[in-house]
Amino acid sequence: MVKQKTRQDSLIRMVIALTLITSISALILSWVHEQTKVPIEQAQNNEELKAIEAVIGNDFDNNPYQDRMKISTSHGKDKLDLYIGRKDNKIKAIAIKTYSNQAFGGRLELIVGFNILGQIKTYKILKSNETPGLGSKVSEEKFKSQFSGLRPRTSSFRLTKDGGDIDGVTAATISSRAVIDAINRAYKAYQRFRSGGKYE
């Protein structure tokens, strides 16, 4: 009887100890999360702002990242992030985060900049699983520079293999097409924005 009571007391003490340990651990994790949440968000915001500035510059008197909005794609199934660069309260350039699911390595994400006339300024790859040395070359200036000043709506906004004016990366045709697909998606969102389309 005494032994049984001793076992019960030991079990109760063990349960209390485990409860205390898990409660303290949960409190510590919660505190760490709260302490690191703001710095992590700030770091992500800074990275986003750097990407925006890489495609539309930084000659603005607003913060395009803080003024971001979502705009529906032409088919309305999803939304893209849109960033507006303003100076003297006038829109000077627009950056749009876009994607393509047609890349060789799966999903390709990039941000593309447009001037007020709808011409491409440049783009920056944000996420890519393309083969190093081949598909990854779509982020190099030799390929990117071909897009500067173009409007995607023209029929020439295709690879030369497809009857257009853009030279694809050698041995990376799929990746090259994916970039064009992503920019086309961004341009449609740009047109939707400029025509007063659905956004939030």
User: Is 148 within a domain?
Assistant: yes
- Per-residue model confidence as pLDDT tens digits over 29-41: 877 767 666 665 6
Q: Is residue 25 part of a domain?
A: no
- Whether pTM exceeds 0.85: no
Q: Domain for residue 177, yes or no?
A: yes
Q: What is the pLDDT of residue 146?
A: 93
Q: Starting at the edge strand that comes first in sequence, how are the strands of the sheet with 79-87 ordered?
A: 69-72, 79-87, 90-103, 106-115, 120-127
Place of tokens 């097409």: 177
Q: Does residue 13 lie within any of the structural domains?
A: no
Total domains present in the chain = 1
Band of residue 47 on the pLDDT scale cut at 50, 70, 90: confident
151-174 pLDDT per residue, tens: 887 778 889 899 888 998 887 888
HSE toward the beta carbon, residue 175, CA cutoff 13 A: 24
